[in-house]
Chains A and B, each alone.
Chain A
Amino acid sequence: MGQGNIIGYEINDKACQISFYNDQQLEPETLEVDSDNYQIPLIIGKLRDTWAYGKEAKRLVTVKEGFTVTRLLEKSLAGEKIEFGEETYDAVWLLSKFIQMSLQPFPQIEGIVFSVPELTEELARLLRGIAVRMNVDKRHIFIQDYKESFCNYLFYQPKELWQYEAALFCCERNEIRAYMLRRLKPGLGGGKTTFVTVDEVASAHMKELAAVYPVLNEDKAKEADARFTKFIEGVFDKRIVSSVFLTGEGFENNWYPTSLRVLCNGRRAFIGNNLYSKGACYTAYRKMFMHIEDPVYLSETKLTDQITVNMRVDGQEMWYPIVSWGAHWYESNNQWEVLLEDVEDIELHVESLVQGTLKTEVISLKNFPKRGEYSMRLQIETLFLDEKTCKITVRDVGFGEFFLPTDFQEEKIIHLGGNDGKFNSLS
């Protein structure tokens, strides 16, 4: 595998950041734009016939030359068109152009995970479409929110950092948000898997923060520090927190010495601004190389049901998830090809975390043609009709020139329980 093939791509309306999996260090590494700067402004521009993105495009804004477009995500979602002279561009085309240009250092991408502040189905579809047009295998494209990126980042840190809860503080110009990663009820799903979630536990608008950014105003800084200390104490109240992560441009000036002492009291604290892109890169790695994920991040919008099939994968027998809990239903349409070895029907296990049940469904293959061992190849397809209904289709896809495909296929509709607003019952 070549360096840079697995990408974590953090994107918001202001900037993007790229982390890639470094094969030598076996760790994600963040693409440096300038010395110690990883943020690429989300701006695209054109001067005469030349396209520019990021820092170069920002320069065009400054010198007021050519044309530039900002807030590309918002405009793409709104389906806006941007006119420049006689030309008209779709915002989504410009966003796609931006992403492609920013990923030029990685000519062959094996897998990509986008990390966005808040995930919607529309945004997921938009980014997925862009990645597909860049010829990334659609099975290796995922979109997650910052909370999930934080989670995946932590999964690859020493376990003691999230032995109890782990806190994330995000500080922007005048707002601080606190998130807490916690384990869900032990024993869920048979107890083989650890489930975690991330809650937003507090947020505060702090006018003082505007004053400490970008130049430190000492008096305002003291006020901000005092308010932040109170905020932290409120967040930590009655919680055992193993580690603390600080991220966001608001933490760049050291205006919070008192708060820092409170943060670090009996726990480890980290500061950085590439946690989301690295987290996304870890996810991309997990998705590509792990058949069964453990631990699993869950949220209100994620599937709390799992469908598995007994299968031999890389020589190992396992209940292989064709629909995984912790995935989004709209990202769970997939296809696999399997060979049959002395099989008359396909048994599916449908497990629900909320109901705590395990149901068995069977797809009979009795009408399928009979062929020699290891030459009966079937395609298994999962297609979600809505968030609780999954259609599973099994069809004969033939075996190359040895056996042509036939029209034989069987379908099964699986009704999933979903969480029905009972996500909290998993706590």
Chain B
Amino acid sequence: MGSLILCHDRHATHPYEITRIHCKIFTIEELCYYLCNNLYLVDYTIMNEQLCTWLDEEIGMPELAADLRDVIRMRGSVEKFVLTILKSSRIFREPEMIRIQNVLERLKNQKDIERQKFKGDNLLESGEIEEAILVYQAILNEEADESVDPKFYGKIYAGLGAAYGRLFLYQESAKMYDRAYQICEDTQLLKPYLYASYKYMSLEEYHILLTKHDDYVEVNAQMRQEMEDIKEHLQMERSAALLEKWKQQYRRSHI
């Protein structure tokens, strides 16, 4: 059995803008939603005086603002800053707070390069594709970190493959999936690789690719079947709401 949660009654007249996602925030509930859904994205840039002033003057939470200013002054961690906000909102039950705390703890113990990857993965998931590509590329441009599992880099390439694919850049996508497969040797990666290849190659080139690799044939058959199934069940109704959603998504990633 779920619950209703009474919202705080203040809506900001002047919203706080989270530049990273080009989103304006009007309430403490929206701020908490952003933080909880972007724990991997949150970094020291969120710890700023502007946010404290906004919480104080626009949201009417002077005690929280004072606590956050203390965290900044004492050079506290980002995790502490975020948890202070989430606790003060009193939105979340204790188990949810513990889960969030655990995620933050896990992130804190991760290597910088792993956090970077999480950031890229989350950007990709939330549709910030160009930003995700930049994060992945930045990791690859750095000197290789030998302390991480070599497969880690394979997963970065797979992430890049997915990102390019979502931008319809299938040739780049196939190239990235190929590299990912070379490193990880994970057959799961063959399907997106073949799909991207199928999309950019001519039919002839694609057949040559299949004939060169026996194991690709079976994956190709599976993939084609899945494509058929999806096409069959695809229900694309044009509606004002859907159009508005697309516009929003476009604005968020391009403006």
Indicate if B32 sits at the interface (CB-CB under 8 A).
Answer: yes
Residues B12-42 near A (CB distance < 8 A): 15, 23-27, 29-30, 32-34, 36-37
Inter-chain contacts of A404 with B (CB < 8 A): 244, 248
A103 on interface, CB distance cutoff 8 Å: no
Q: How far is the CB of A348 from chain B (nearest CB, A)?
A: 11
Q: Which 9 A-B pairs have the closest CB atoms?
A: A342-B2, A343-B2, A337-B7, A315-B90, A339-B5, A338-B4, A400-B30, A311-B4, A313-B6
Please determine whether A343 and B29 come into contact, CB atoms closer than 8 angstroms: no
Give the contacting residue for B7; candidates A310, A338, A344, A406; CB below 8 A.
Answer: A338
Q: Which residue of A lies closest to B1 (CB)?
A: A342
Given contacts A338-B4, A340-B5, A374-B92, 18 further A-B pairs with CB under 8 A are A139-B9, A309-B4, A313-B6, A315-B90, A317-B3, A338-B5, A339-B4, A339-B5, A339-B7, A339-B29, A341-B2, A342-B1, A372-B37, A374-B5, A374-B29, A399-B30, A400-B23, A401-B25
Q: B241 in the interface, Cβ–Cβ < 8 Å?
A: yes
Chain B minimum-CB-distance residue to A339: B5
Inter-chain contacts of B32 with A (CB < 8 A): 374
- Closest B residue to A371 by beta carbon equals B33
Interface residues of A in 354-372 (CB under 8 A from B): 372
Contact B244 A341 (CB under 8 A): no
User: In angstroms, how far is the closest chain B Cβ from the Cβ of A11?
Assistant: 27
What are 30 residue pairs bridging A and B, where the CB atoms are less than 8 Å apart in the complex? A139-B9, A311-B3, A311-B6, A312-B5, A312-B6, A312-B90, A312-B91, A314-B90, A320-B6, A336-B6, A336-B7, A337-B9, A338-B6, A338-B7, A339-B4, A340-B2, A341-B2, A341-B4, A342-B1, A343-B2, A346-B4, A374-B29, A374-B33, A374-B91, A374-B92, A377-B29, A400-B15, A400-B25, A401-B25, A401-B30
A402 at the interface (CB under 8 A from B): yes
Q: Tell me the bound Cα distance from A344 to B25 in angstroms.
A: 27
| Most chain A CB atoms below 10 A, which of B5, B15, B241 | B5
Contact of B4 among A139, A340, A402, A406 (CB under 8 A): A340
Residues of A within 8 A of B9 (CB): 139, 337
For A314, A315, A344, A406, the residue with the greatest tally of chain B CB atoms inside 10 Å of its CB is A315
Tell me how far the C-beta of A35 lies from the nearest C-beta in chain B, rounded to whole angstroms. Answer: 36
**A375 on interface, CB distance cutoff 8 Å:** yes
Interface size class of A (residues with CB under 8 A): 20 to 34
Report the nearest A residue to B34, measured CB to CB. A402
CA distance A346 to B3 in the complex (A): 9
- Taken together as a complex, chains A and B put the C-alpha atoms of A311 and B4 apart, in Å, by 5
Write out the residue numbers on chain A whose beta carbons fall within 8 Å of the beta carbon of B93.
Answer: 312
Task: Report B-chain residues with C-beta under 8 Å of the C-beta of A372.
Answer: 37
Interface mask (B145-177 → A, CB under 8 Å = 1, otherwise 0) = 000000000000000000000000000000000
- Verify B4–A375 contact, CB threshold 8 A: no
Instruction: Point out residues on B near A: beta carbons under 8 Å.
Output: 1-7, 9, 15, 23-27, 29-30, 32-34, 36-37, 90-93, 241, 244, 248
A406 to B241, CA, bound (A): 9
Hey, what's the 0/1 contact readout for A386-427 against B, CB within 8 Å counting as 1? 000000000000011110101000000000000000000000
Query: In the complex, how many angstroms separate the beta carbon of B255 from the nearest chain A beta carbon?
Result: 12
Contact of B33 among A315, A338, A375 (CB under 8 A): A375
Given contacts A315-B90, A374-B32, contact A400 B6 (CB under 8 A): no
Q: How far is the CA of A341 from the CA of B96 in the complex (A)?
A: 11
A341–B90 CB distance below 8 A: no
The CA of A164 and the CA of B34, in the complex, are separated in Å by 55
Query: A311, A312, A317, A372: which has the most chain B beta carbons within 10 Å?
Result: A312
Tell me the minimal C-beta distance from A376 to chain B in angstroms.
10
The residue on B at minimum CB distance from A315 is B90
- Give min CB distance, A140 to chain B, whole Å: 10
Identify the A interface with B (CB < 8 A): 139, 309-315, 317, 320, 336-344, 346, 372, 374-375, 377, 399-402, 404, 406
B139 → chain A, closest Cβ, in Å? 28
Contacts of A139 in B (CB 8 A): 9
Asked if A310 and B3 make an inter-chain contact with CB atoms under 8 angstroms apart, the answer reads: yes
CB nearest neighbor in A for B251: A401
Contact for A343 among B4, B26, B90, B91, CB less than 8 A = B4
Contacts of A320 in B (CB 8 A): 6
A339 to B8, CA, bound (A): 10
A230 CB to nearest chain B CB (Å): 54
Q: Chain B residues near A339 (CB, 8 Å)?
A: 4-5, 7, 29, 91
Q: Which of A339, A372, A377 has the most CB of B within 10 A?
A: A339
Query: In the complex the two chains form, what is the Cα distance from A402 to B4 in whole Å?
Result: 20
**B26 cross-chain contacts in A, Cβ below 8 A:** 400
Does A312 lie within 8 Å of B3, measured CB to CB?
A: yes
Minimum CB–CB distance from A291 to chain B (whole Å) comes to: 9
**Cα A339 to Cα B9 with chains together (Å):** 12
Q: How far is the CA of A260 from the CA of B102 in the complex (A)?
A: 69
Closest-by-CB residue of B relative to A369 is B241
- Chain B residues within an 8 Å CB radius of A341: 2-5
Q: Which residue of A lies closest to B18 (CB)?
A: A401
**A407 (CB) vs chain B CBs: closest residue:** B241
Cα distance, A343 to B244, chains bound together (Å): 26
Alpha-carbon separation in the docked complex, A314 to B92 (Å):
10
Are the C-beta atoms of A402 and B33 separated by less than 8 Å?
yes
Given known contacts A314-B90, A404-B248, A374 and B36 CB-to-CB distance under 8 angstroms: yes
Candidate in B1, B2, B33, B241 with the most chain A CB atoms within 10 angstroms: B33
**A309 cross-chain contacts in B, Cβ below 8 A:** 4
> How many Å from the CB of A422 to the closest CB on chain B?
33
Contact between B4 and A310, CB atoms less than 8 A apart: yes
A344 CB to nearest B CB, Å: 8
In the assembled complex, the Cα of A374 lies from the Cα of B7 at a distance in Å of: 10
The answer for the CA separation of A161 and B29 in the assembled complex, in Å, is: 44
- B33 with A311: CB separation less than 8 A: no
- Tell me which residues across on chain A come within 8 A of B27, comparing CB atoms: 400
Q: Are A400 and B5 in contact (CB under 8 A)?
A: no
**Complex interface: chain B residues within 8 A of A374 (CB):** 5, 29, 32-33, 36, 91-92
Which residues of B have CB within 8 Å of A314?
6, 90
> How many angstroms from the CA of A372 to the CA of B33 in the assembled complex?
10
Q: Which residues of B contact A338 (CB under 8 A)?
A: 4-7
